Chains A and B, each alone.
Chain A
């Protein structure tokens, strides 16, 4: 450690607690309380990264979350490795490992640095202009561009840390614990408001907490001492919750905010075990007080990006808070009084200041006189025109500014330095305010945007509201909080302030140079390497709107969202285009304010909690019997049950054959079930289904098709009449919730006069379907009380019965075309009844089958699956299901749409069967169907919707939709595939047992 850079100092650094860490494979030491940036600076390290486009050496520029340059890779080669971390925000801990990004092979020698030499040919929009032609080459260009541009590495294995989400409700949320935030929180909490105070730093007090200057006092005390007492007082308030290391990421409408609370990132790795790393706070606040402070502006001049060039306020923070001198030969460059505060901090510790360069001709403040008294040379009315030094600044040259500030005059003077502090004044941190929908206004006097129109119950105070002087901050905080909270007692009697600063400023967005603009590199956005020259080029090429200039030059598009340079970009645009500030828009700041980890965003929703899934009551049996599962909506459904070493095809062929030859059993519990009751239940069904329901007898079942109002098929299923005013409707597995929603919608909003009640009973019943020629024998053993004769229990009817004294509903309905029964029993008994069926079916080779076999069996019968064979563009007529559309009913949902000019077209896509010329060839679902492959372009007639090899028919079968297909029976069509054309013939979609002999066979 370079001892002459570290000074005995504040209570923020624990000098008895030495911490070792690694940066770029070298071990260094810092103290507890250091950030990675302060520890590196204490070791004399400024160069920490390379810039994005030109690979220029870059150093630590700031001391906070606005840092554009010092972004590093944390935790090398571990599951915790994290790119794009700002060194200024990382609190060091024993064993920290970090490295530079965007450089290869090393930060000191970087091959990409050649881009810097090539920069005359890398102007704004270079990539857009150069690499877009020929289009087919983009893939090759992209590889090299991405390789040389790489910003950090993502981890290759799962994140070992725990994250969580938490809701917080409060009366008042105060964002930012600087001087105004502390005062506001105290006023709110003491007046009975449940208050939450958050700050992104690890400590409270903002920049005032290390303000030990004689030049700013409150009630005759040094600002930091006064503030410490205030903090001490509020930390005991019951009504106030304080969260440090908590950064508000997003400020949404209705005072809904998201914040990230860092809980373990500052701890040594071995102390993080089983602790929550980061917490996403979802905050609902009745009132929000934004006290996010302001960000110091850099100055825009030639080569303003060398390592060692820093914000003057950062230099002050490093020395006052961390006891670290950023340089031994300092120069400050400013257009306002801020730099003189930094100067006093350096002077107090005897750190050398070679000169102060001030844009202003006249400087008239107590603090500047004090600095002058210390024999510091102040160059008034001067500007820096260039800087020198490759890996660290070593020299600057300065020239006198002309009266209008547009040019430089006189001789060039060179001055030595190893650190240059710059101050271009302050920009209110209005990011959260604008995120919430707030509108800004521009204040001409000091060229800042400040909050103007609040979209919700909120207020901005302190320097984020444009109050920069200590007296102004305190006075305005007191009065506006009193008004905002509607309180009489401000909790503060008299607050007297003394400040040695005045607010004069000479604002020049782009400082002039003795070189032509084309020869300068004056960086506006450091992270994305966008220069003033680039912005001017964009304007010359016709861009005006800030949003366009931003995208063209990439200004403000980095991970820092241009916190430092956006104002200068706006200023340069307005100066160049001769327009008013803000006339071409201010850029939009989008959430998050600082980047969030994916872990924080997903919280506990990882692994099996990523999405909820629903299991049927019989699920465990399927698992125990080797089922493979398929996701259907949120359900896990048994897909097929491979035996021995069967693949899916083999298992499905076996299952399908067994179901038709003897007996199959299917878990159909996932089908949606809606219980419908009320005196108008029949009328209601008449209106929602296409067919007629009034005459359905009690105890009978009917298949129904439901349309949207536009006439397109929406859902289907069998509905059973359980009683005079009682039905049970089944829906598709995936459609259940939507169907219930749609039915409720019509009931509540269109037909409130109907006496009908709906309730979802999907989860209440287990549904077991037993099918096949031996199904009757099996079911008669399971439900011995029931007479299964065709006379007493014909197809499409229903009976109440009992299995071991447990009530059940049995329907004789079929989705396979086989004789089959559906047993519905209270969910808890589902598994035992299933096992009973398996036992009863043992002698009949009862075969459990999954969804894949179910799909195959129904396709053999030409039964549609809504959502597979239909896609919300097919009417029942298109599906050749005219038989189910009532001609007699006056109205039902979608009826009028069935004879719109569009829906009666003959050449609509219609459902047909497809048979391949080669019966062994199985088509691909989704494949295109054409008639003529010689015509160019080839006309697409439709596509294959379902396709299987049928073991029962011993040939390939498929369903598809084809334009005008209804009238193409027997016609030859072609399925063009990547390396062959498959010939098919249009067929009837019912492939097996069209006459229904299997269904009606006497068993």
Chain B
């Protein structure tokens, strides 16, 4: 991988970290609110189904995670297992894809 891509990966990880920090905060507040007000699963689904704002928010959350996690894992694997090169890049790309698909499927389940 060329130097420019390595720099951009680093920048993408920092940027996604900022998004994740905000998303986690909003998510936690939402969970606490839902639990405190004793919302049932049906009531929660009633609010999320067809709600573009919630759907969009959680899709962004998933996207940020799919960017952030594989870049961090790439560093950890190359530092501790000395795993480098295209096999590592391919594996991390695959991981990003899996995270994205699983995450978006979950978002779809509460949206559609």
* A pairs with B: no
